[in-house]
Structure formats: structure tokens, C-alpha cells
Amino acid sequence: MTGSAPSPVRMGMVGAGFMGRQHIDFIRAARGAVLTAVADPAANPAEFECPTYPSTAQMLDAEQLDAVIIANPNALHVETAVECLQAGVAVLLEKPVATSYAQSRRLVEAVERLYGRLLVGHHRRHHPAIARARSAIRGGELGQVVAVNGMWSARKEPEYFTEAPWHSEPGAGVTLINAVHDLDLLRHLCGEVAEIQAIQGSNVRGLDVEDTVSMSLRFESGALGSLIASDAGVSPWGWDQATEESLAFPFLPDEVAYRIVGTRAALSVPNLAMYAYAPSVPADWHSPLSRTYLPYAPRGSFPAQLDHFVEVARGTAAPLVSADDASRTLALVEAASLAARTGRTVDVARFSADAQAEAEADG
């Protein structure tokens, strides 16, 4: 039986800045979607070859959209997403879903109440190396996971902070803007985090928000983790440099973002180098280690994310990253911030329950 291909999903873009423009390029390259309109108070109508509107409300009123991608400043995420869900369109919401855990719970409640179709833009989860790493970890190929080490450090240009002032105000910072992706991936790969400790600093940039953070994690599985993130330090170590995801960043083949050590083998990600003792030698530290690379079919995570979003918008797939899932990652960011302020170890489940109870009491 042959069927005609479904019509492309009509997509609106909310926020056409650094990230929004990249989404627009991905929509233009996709077969399943068509860019129908842009909403951005600063948009130049001549630039986009489609109608532009100064607000999301005006775009939703004027256009028949199936879906929107939201890449406006973080502080607007929840209200914009709820507005779009109420209009009945599917939403791909950039990370972080909100600027606080309490706000993110409002979004989770709205998604449930409105039966909304909402995917969160933790795009790295769509990378084929991550799917392969997850199956290696979950399938026991490393043995019992003992520890994980992650790093994201890159030196952002001064204009990043002066041209978009929200980048240097509370509601931004390297933990919420960048390390949120790493925390999300570490949860995806290694499971939920039970406890977190953190130290934050703004020694280099001197802004209200931190430029560098160091976190220690205890996973529910018992594995331990450490994660360093900085937007002030030059480095080749981080997801953006270790993948060809974006032409905006240099690509250094074979660089590493995460190292995961287990009782049988170690794995670096995203190059998927796996280190293990040969079966013929004793499995201890005196034996030579072999290195093999786990194979996977290469594909960029943004195009894969967009294809998945088309399925979510059509109602044929459940979101790989739901609002509830992303909200748990945000709880970790907030727990890290509390740990850094107080110097205490934060119990993540207790912190999340207290924050939710406080949010409910505030209405």
C-alpha cells in the first residue's frame, strides 16, 4: 500500500537570535518542516523570507501553525511555552525550561493540564554517540559504573555579555546556560543524582552570575561524579568542541567531554573510545589496556532533534526530553547553586520536594 507523505509541519520561530537562527537553518534543511513565521521584537522583516511579528501572540493570532520553536531569553520560556500550548501548537522549548525549578513545575503542570506536546531542547540526547554510550552503560558493558568525570570549558567573547545583557544577569550563568546540558546528559547516561556539592566563582569576569563552577555528584546508583564548567577558560574539552554540531565552534576530533569508568571498562564520550583489559590477561592495573571505538552511524543532534520534534508535533512520538525530565535537571542546577551558597551537601530529592511544596504554597 502506498500513502502520500504527510504535509510538512508548519513551524513558527520565537526568538531569532544566536540560537533561533540556527534552528531556522535546520528547519530550512528539513523535509518534514517548513518555516512559516518568526516572532521577535528585534527581527528585521527583510531577513527571513516569511512573515515576522513583534510578539508570539500576534504570530499565533495571524498564522495557522502546527508547532513553534522557542529560543527567546530564558526568563520568558515558561510564559511563552504556556501561551503556545494554550493555542494548541506543539512546542520545542530551548533549555533551560525555566529560570527556577518552581517555575518549571508550573510548566509541567500546564503540559499535563493541556495535554500539550512539548519537547525540551536538550539536543545532545539525540546524538547517536549518546544513544550508543547509554546502551553500553545500561547494558553493563563497562561493568558497574564507579565514577564519571565531565568538563565543558570555552572562552566566550566579551560581546556575548554586552550585546545580550540577560547573559550576565541572574537567570543566566555558565551553570544554567551550559552545564545544564552536561547535567542533563549525565542523568541520561548514569541515572538520577542523589546528592550534590558545588563551588562557584566569578573571579575572571566579575559578573553577578558565575563564570566557573565545580560540582561533585553522588548518583543514586552509588557512582560518583565531578563536573567542571567555565565560560572564561580556553579549552578543547567540552561537547561543543568535541562534536561537529555547530559551525560556530571549532571542532577538535577525538577530544572528550565525559570519561566514565566502570569495574570492567572505561568509556570516553563522544568519541566512544572504550578501554578494557584483553580477556586473556588478568583484569588488574598491571595488564595492558586495549582501546577500541564503539561504532555508530554519524548524525548531527540538531537535525535528529528536529526530525523527532516533527514526530512529536504529529503525535506519533512521545518526547525524548519531557518538561518533567528537564525540570529534574533544573532541580540539579538549583541544588548546585544552593550547595555553593551554603557550602553544604544538598540531598536532591529532598530539595526538589521542598521547592515544589514551597511553590504550591505560594500558589
Q: Which residues are at the interface with ligand NAD (CB under 6 A)?
A: 14-20, 39-42, 56, 71-74, 76, 94-95, 121, 123, 164, 177
Quote the least distance from Cβ 292 to ligand NAD, whole Å.
30
Q: Residue 147 class from Cβ within 10 Å (0-12 exposed, 13-18 middle, 19+ buried)?
A: middle
In this structure, the chain runs to a length of 363
- CB-based burial, 57-74: b 16+ in 10 Å, e otherwise: eebbeebebbbbbbbbbb
Quote the least distance from Cβ 165 to ligand NAD, whole Å.
9
Closer of 116 and 121 to ligand NAD (Cβ): 121
Nearest residue to the partner ligand NAD, using Cβ: 17
Q: Bridge-partner residues for 260, per DSSP?
A: 148, 267
Closer of 41 and 222 to ligand NAD (Cβ): 41
Q: Give the whole-angstrom CA distance, residue 50 versus residue 13.
A: 11
Closer of 301 and 352 to ligand NAD (Cβ): 301
Cell numbers placing 349: 530529592
Count, in order, helices (H) and strands (E) of the chain: 12, 15
Quote the least distance from Cβ 94 to ligand NAD, whole Å.
4
Closer of 126 and 266 to ligand NAD (Cβ): 126
Quote the least distance from Cβ 203 to ligand NAD, whole Å.
23
Quote the least distance from Cβ 61 to ligand NAD, whole Å.
14
Run of H or E residues at 160: helix 159-162
| Block residue for cell numbers 563551588 | 199
3-state secondary structure of 310: helix
Closer of 95 and 127 to ligand NAD (Cβ): 95
Closer of 5 and 42 to ligand NAD (Cβ): 42
Quote the least distance from Cβ 51 to ligand NAD, whole Å.
14
In the chain, the N- to C-terminal Cα span, in Å, equals 53
